[in-house]
């Protein structure tokens, strides 16, 4: 009896101790999240923080795995099945496209809501101010630090024209493509999309903002389809026709070469990826704001696990094409050899579209799935990576390359096994880039965001005062006829 009571008491004490530890961990986790969120209550789709983290970690893993493959830390499996497994090591490169989809989705939200449900049109000044102060401080700090400490040759007058391209977010051109810091070229694509989005949304709004809700959905879908088609056409032109004279009968070749940096760049402007993100945004706005869509949203949530699986399967299929066409064409995946000409000829045109469609299904499933489906993407440590993803994305590659050039040869000389080399490689990237990203996020990114918000408030405050004065004046004008109706004429009364 005494032993049973003792066991029960010990069990209760153990449970209390475990609960206290869990409570402390929970409080600490909430404090970290609150700190990274800048202490503000935001209308945030929490799962998208996790998705953003996965996109960033995918790009980090791609560079880690690519350079460790080049450095002979690991070797791909041979045979068709082995090659398909090995292709997963390099699938993280597609995380760039997931970033583009997320930008299209998030930035188009207020525009889609205004077009479909007649809410206030987003402020142009607020949009540009917030984008500029969100991107420029962290980017310029990274750019100048890398110039001074990693690539001082760029400070010579011979390179000043290239620095100008970096300063003006045109580093996706051949002269600077993947130079200085390889991830930088994608920031040029993002920033150019920021500049164009308000204009594109305004043009769409001129067509969409009238008629029934279903008619608006149809017109907006058509606009986004045209945007997707423009991306495919310009990609095909850039890779297949830009260096030929096949279009001279329609447009002079010299004029097309002048326009090429603006409509194609080096590897296209990825309008297809942004359009898919914007289309997912349109569906999200409709399903969460239309009264008649409540039942539809419930039915769709039941199929989201299937949509997620389909998106991942599609991602895997296109990644095999990507792996075969770029990395391993002479080694494995021989079952694709009969299709080699087609796969090689059209990989630059359709491969990125396939990845973007796969991520479109993936994103739609997460947004509309059940709580069980969303919860893994809302895991606090994953969200923390999402918060610091911008700095982490910009800074990881220099540390990967430094280990590759300076540290890895020592471990190989000492005879460390490939597994041990890879573990140390990954550990190095983690302990260097994550603390640096957190520091830059707290001391560069967040102050920039706060400054942008303050500037928006300063600009909008006089406008708000004018609106309040106008409302007060209107209310005063409405009071005179009301008094007259009641039989009181103010001037005669006095």
Predicted pLDDT of residue 14: 67
38 — pLDDT class (breaks 50, 70, 90): low
Instruction: Classify residue 445 by burial, with Cβ atoms within 10 Å: 0-12, 13-18, 19+.
Output: buried
**Residues above pLDDT 70, as percent of the chain:** 85
Predicted pLDDT of residue 338: 75
Instruction: Classify residue 401 by burial, with Cβ atoms within 10 Å: 0-12, 13-18, 19+.
Output: middle
93 — pLDDT class (breaks 50, 70, 90): very high
Give the residue-averaged pLDDT of 144-169.
Answer: 93
Task: List CB contacts of 237: < 8 A, sequence separation 6 or more.
Answer: 247, 264
Give the residue-averaged pLDDT of 332-354.
Answer: 79
CA distances (Å), 493 to each of 32, 479, 489, 490, in order? 66, 15, 6, 5
- For the stretch 202-237, pLDDT in tens is 999 999 999 999 999 999 999 999 999 999 999 999
494 — pLDDT class (breaks 50, 70, 90): very low
Give the residue-averaged pLDDT of 120-138.
Answer: 95
Predicted pLDDT of residue 233: 95
Check whether 458 has a pLDDT greater than 80.
yes
Predicted pLDDT of residue 276: 98
374 — pLDDT class (breaks 50, 70, 90): very high
Specify the range with the lowest mean pLDDT, choosing from 79-93, 191-205, 207-221, 322-336.
322-336
486 — pLDDT class (breaks 50, 70, 90): very low
Specify the range with the lowest mean pLDDT, choosing from 15-24, 162-171, 203-212.
15-24
H-helix segments, 327-407: 340-368, 371-374, 380-387, 389-402
- Secondary structure E strands in 137-282: none
Task: List CB contacts of 486: < 8 A, sequence separation 6 or more.
Answer: none
Predicted pLDDT of residue 482: 39
Higher pLDDT, 436 or 325: 436
Specify the range with the lowest mean pLDDT, choosing from 20-24, 41-45, 329-333.
329-333
Closest of 85, 57, 68 to residue 323, by C-alpha: 85
322 — pLDDT class (breaks 50, 70, 90): confident
Check whether 336 has a pLDDT greater than 80.
no
Check whether 31 has a pLDDT greater than 60.
yes
Give the residue-averaged pLDDT of 411-435.
Answer: 94
Do 236 and 353 form a contact (C-beta atoms < 8 A)? Answer: no
Check whether 488 has a pLDDT greater than 80.
no
3 — pLDDT class (breaks 50, 70, 90): low
Closest of 354, 397, 349 to residue 185, by C-alpha: 397
Predicted pLDDT of residue 18: 67
Predicted pLDDT of residue 481: 44
Give the residue-averaged pLDDT of 243-250.
Answer: 82
Predicted pLDDT of residue 78: 77
Specify the range with the lowest mean pLDDT, choosing from 40-49, 60-69, 84-93, 297-306.
40-49
Predicted pLDDT of residue 484: 36
Do 297 and 232 form a contact (C-beta atoms < 8 A)? Answer: no
Angle at 445 between CA 439 and CA 448, to 5 degrees: 140
Task: List CB contacts of 420: < 8 A, sequence separation 6 or more.
Answer: 411
pTM reported for the whole predicted model: 0.89
Specify the range with the lowest mean pLDDT, choosing from 29-38, 205-214, 328-337, 372-381.
328-337
Structure tokens at 25: 């961990």
**Residues above pLDDT 90, as percent of the chain:** 66
Specify the range with the lowest mean pLDDT, choosing from 8-17, 104-113, 389-398.
8-17
42 — pLDDT class (breaks 50, 70, 90): low
Predicted pLDDT of residue 492: 35
Check whether 13 has a pLDDT greater than 80.
no
408 — pLDDT class (breaks 50, 70, 90): very high
Give the residue-averaged pLDDT of 304-318.
Answer: 95
Check whether 440 has a pLDDT greater than 60.
yes
Q: What is the DSSP letter of 122?
A: P
Structure tokens at 424: 């140390």
Give the residue-averaged pLDDT of 470-493.
Answer: 43
């Amino acid at each position: 009896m005494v032993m049973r009571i003792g066991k029960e008491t010990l069990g209760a004490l153990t449970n209390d101790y475990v609960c206290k530890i869990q409570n402390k961990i929970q409080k600490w986790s909430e404090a970290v999240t609150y700190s990274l969120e800048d202490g503000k209550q935001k209308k945030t789709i929490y799962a998208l923080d996790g998705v953003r983290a996965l996109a960033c970690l995918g790009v980090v893993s791609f560079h880690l795995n690519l350079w460790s493959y080049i450095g002979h830390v690991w070797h791909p499996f041979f045979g068709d099945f082995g090659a398909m497994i090995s292709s997963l090591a390099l699938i993280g490169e597609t995380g760039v496209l997931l970033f583009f989809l997320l930008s299209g989705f998030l930035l188009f939200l207020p525009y889609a809501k205004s077009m479909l449900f007649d809410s206030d049109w987003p402020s142009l000044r607020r949009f540009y101010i917030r984008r500029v102060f969100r991107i420029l401080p962290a980017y310029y700090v990274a750019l100048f630090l890398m110039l001074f400490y990693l690539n001082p040759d760029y400070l010579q007058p011979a390179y000043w024209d290239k620095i100008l391209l970096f300063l003006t977010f045109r580093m996706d051109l051949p002269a600077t493509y993947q130079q200085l810091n390889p991830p930088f070229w994608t920031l040029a694509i993002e920033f150019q999309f920021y500049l164009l989005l308000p204009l594109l949304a305004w043009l769409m709004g001129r067509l969409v903002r009238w008629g029934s809700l279903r008619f608006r959905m149809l017109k907006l879908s058509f606009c986004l389809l045209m945007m997707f088609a423009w991306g495919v056409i310009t990609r095909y032109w850039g890779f297949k026709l830009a260096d030929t004279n096949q279009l001279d009968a329609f447009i002079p070749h010299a004029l097309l070469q002048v326009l090429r940096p603006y409509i194609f760049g080096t590897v296209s402007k990825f309008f297809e990826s942004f359009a898919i993100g914007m289309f997912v945004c349109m569906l999200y706005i409709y399903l969460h704001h239309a009264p008649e869509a409540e039942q539809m949203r419930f039915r769709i949530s039941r199929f989201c696990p299937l949509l997620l699986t389909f998106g991942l399967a599609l991602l895997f299929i296109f990644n095999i094409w990507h792996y075969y066409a770029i990395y391993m064409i002479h080694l494995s995946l021989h079952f694709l050899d009969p299709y080699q000409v087609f796969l090689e000829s059209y990989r630059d045109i359709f491969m990125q579209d396939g990845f973007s469609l796969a991520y479109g299904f993936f994103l739609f499933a997460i947004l509309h799935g059940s709580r069980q489906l969303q919860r893994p993407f809302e895991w606090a440590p994953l969200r923390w990576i999402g918060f610091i993803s911008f700095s982490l994305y910009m800074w990881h590659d220099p540390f990967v390359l430094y280990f590759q050039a300076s540290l890895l040869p020592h471990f190989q000389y000492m005879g460390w096994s490939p597994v041990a080399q890879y573990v140390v490689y990954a550990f190095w990237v983690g302990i260097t880039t994550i603390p640096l990203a957190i520091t830059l996020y707290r001391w560069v990114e967040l102050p920039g965001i706060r400054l942008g918000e303050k500037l928006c408030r300063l600009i909008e405050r006089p406008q708000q005062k004018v609106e309040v004065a106008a409302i007060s004046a209107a209310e005063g004008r409405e009071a005179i006829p009301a008094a007259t109706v009641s039989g009181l004429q103010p001037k005669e009364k006095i």
